[in-house]
Amino acid sequence: MRIEEYKDMIYACGRCEICRGFDFNDRCPEIFTQHWESSTARGRMAIARAILEGKLEYSEDLAERIFGCFMCGRCREECKKAAQIDVIEITKAMRQDFVDHGIKIPEAGTNMADTVTSSGNIFADTPEVHTKWSEGLEFKKDSGTLFYPGCLASHRFKEKTNILVRLLQKAGYDLNFLGDEQTCCGTPYWITGKMKNAKEYAKTFLKKLQARGVKEIITPCPSCFRAFDEEYPRLLGIDKFPIRVRHTSEVLEEIVVKKKLKFKPINKKVSYHDPCEIGRYRDIYDPPRHVLAAIPGVEFIEMSRNREQAFCCGGGGGCKIMYPDHSQTVSDERIRDFVKTDAELMTTICPACEMNLTHGMYEADLDIRVLDLAELMAVSAGIVDPEILEPDYFPED
Ligand code: SF4
Ligand code: SF4
């Protein structure tokens, strides 16, 4: 069993409650939706311990507890003050154990991974749809810098992704693009426990990138960023991914620091949602705030739960697909955090967060735009019309 590798950590859990919080509502999105002790990190450690001791077996009944985790990392962050247990890696190991034992996992998770295998992306779209966002853009085939949007930015945010590339190019970045050869990064495999597929996929993908002479990847998606930068080296058994990988938060900050663009005022009150996979997973908290501070006129208002304490958007761990109702419940709660700020615009820098928070705004019947920070920067740099900030604006996606 994979969880045997984490035996010491599992036994280190002292059931201290720090991970789940004391009123159950402000930390873990899984317990926020399921209300079971077994839905918390400490509950999961107890389950793992019972499995290791042969007192419990992996079963379909357990699936909702293990696959219902948003992998938001809040418990891991809190556990740094307690036993420093890597709950995320243990959750991934448990999901792999389900698959390795042939136990049924949520059907939508299996379908998502199978769709990547059969079509190369999570939406089963054709390459023509996959590349539609790039219409009207020119890429440099000999550039070693690859712009890699990932599935969500390619398929659900065509206009935003087009704007982002225009922004980067105006700032002087020469970008290449995989075109018809672009596929998913492979994240659906490891969040659904399909590690054998993941290893093969990572090997093939790295070969493809090296054959194209890619020296650097820039991506707006925190999952893709972590896929190449963290998961691939683990899967391939290497210390470091041989290609430099940067999330756009770092690149937008570079544009500000190196004064690559001039900015005009945007007189709006703006809040910002920290995506779990660049925030808690990678400590990227300051670059997005530096970008907001660099745009004149912006009045930045933090939500009460921010940075390490940010509440998940509801999109993590595959829950958006496997447990859409839970996902909606969590995004509704995050929108309540936003409403308390009295801000006029919600920003983030992750396509999955942007999609979930947008759904949350619709659900709450709020006429408020959720934007990527790159869009705000593009407006301020005069690359795109300020109408995209207006509440009644609908992107052509
Ligand atoms: S914070 Fe860590 S040690 Fe404490 S209950 Fe949670 S997982 Fe266990
Ligand atoms: S990763 Fe997030 S959703 Fe999963 S148990 Fe930890 S706090 Fe809860």
Kindly list the distances between the CA atom of residue 50 and the CA atoms of 4, 45, 101, 251, 347, in Å, as whole numbers in the listed order.
12, 9, 17, 46, 42
Do 95 and 124 share a domain, yes or no? no
CB of 41 sitting under 6 A from ligand 1: yes
Q: What is the pLDDT of residue 21?
A: 85
Q: Is residue 396 part of a domain?
A: no
Residue 370: phi and psi, rounded to 5, are -110, 125
Residue 82 Cβ < 6 Å to ligand 1: yes
Residue 397: inside a domain: no
What three-state secondary structure class fits 213?
coil
| Whether residue 247 is found in the same domain as residue 117 | yes
Site to probe by mutation for ligand 2, drawn from 69, 274, 281, 331 as the one with most ligand atoms within 8 Å of Cβ, is 69
The CATH number that applies at residue 201 is: 3.40.50
Same domain, 339 and 312: yes
Domain co-membership, 146 together with 231: yes
Question: 14-18, 273-277, 348-352, 378-382 — which is least confidently predicted?
Answer: 14-18
Number of domains in the chain: 3
What distance, in Å, lies between the first and last C-alpha atoms of the chain?
44
Is residue 168 one of the residues assigned to a domain? yes
Query: Same domain, yes or no, for 352 and 233?
Result: no
Query: Amino acid identity of 199?
Result: K
Of the residues 221, 251, 281, the one at which a domain ends: 251
Which pLDDT value is given to residue 25? 78
Please state the rounded mean pLDDT for residues 24-40.
89
Distance separating alpha carbons of residues 144 and 284, to the nearest angstrom:
25
394 assigned to some structural domain: no
Q: Do 304 and 286 share a domain, yes or no?
A: yes
Is the domain of 234 the same as that of 266?
no
Smallest-distance ligand from the CA of 72 = 2
Index of the ligand 2 atom closest to the CA of residue 41? 5
Range of the domain at 183: 107-251
pLDDT at 111: 96
> Does the CB atom of residue 69 touch ligand 2 within 6 A?
yes
pLDDT more than 90, % of the chain: 92
Please check whether residue 297 lies inside any domain of the structure: yes
Residue where a domain stops, chosen among 232, 251, 270:
251
Tell whether ligand 1 has an atom less than 6 A from the beta carbon of residue 16.
yes
Q: What is the pLDDT of residue 86?
A: 97
Q: What is the rounded average pLDDT for all residues in the chain?
A: 95
The residue whose CA is least distant from atom 2 of ligand 2 is 72
Nearest ligand to the C-alpha atom of residue 25: 2
Q: For 67-115, how does the pLDDT look when each residue is reduced to its tens digit (9 = 90+)?
A: 999 999 999 999 999 999 999 999 999 999 999 999 999 999 999 999 9
Give the mean model confidence (pLDDT) for residues 215-221: 98
For residues 27-36, average pLDDT: 91
> Where residue 15 sits, what CATH number does that domain have?
1.10.1060
From 235, 251, 267, the end of a domain falls on 251
- 39-68 average pLDDT score: 95
- Please report, for the domain that includes residue 319, its CATH number: 3.40.50.1860
The answer to whether residues 8 and 117 belong to one domain is no
395: pLDDT confidence band, cut at 50, 70 and 90? confident
Which residue CA neighbors atom 2 of ligand 1 most closely? Answer: 79
> Residue 397: is its pLDDT beyond 80?
no
88 and 121 co-located in one domain = no
User: Tell me, what's the pLDDT at 24?
Assistant: 72
pLDDT(130) > 90: no
Are residues 285 and 372 both part of a single domain? yes
Q: Are both 44 and 169 inside the same structural domain?
A: no
Do 213 and 286 have their domain in common? no
Task: Supply the pTM of this predicted model.
Answer: 0.96
DSSP label at residue 241: -
- Assess whether the C-beta atom of 15 lies below 6 angstroms from ligand 1: yes
Instruction: Check if 28 has its Cβ closer than 6 Å to any atom of ligand 2.
Output: yes
- 128 has pLDDT over 90: no
**Ligand 2 touching residue 70 (CB < 6 A):** yes
CB distance 10 to ligand 1 below 6 Å: no
Give residue 23's pLDDT: 75
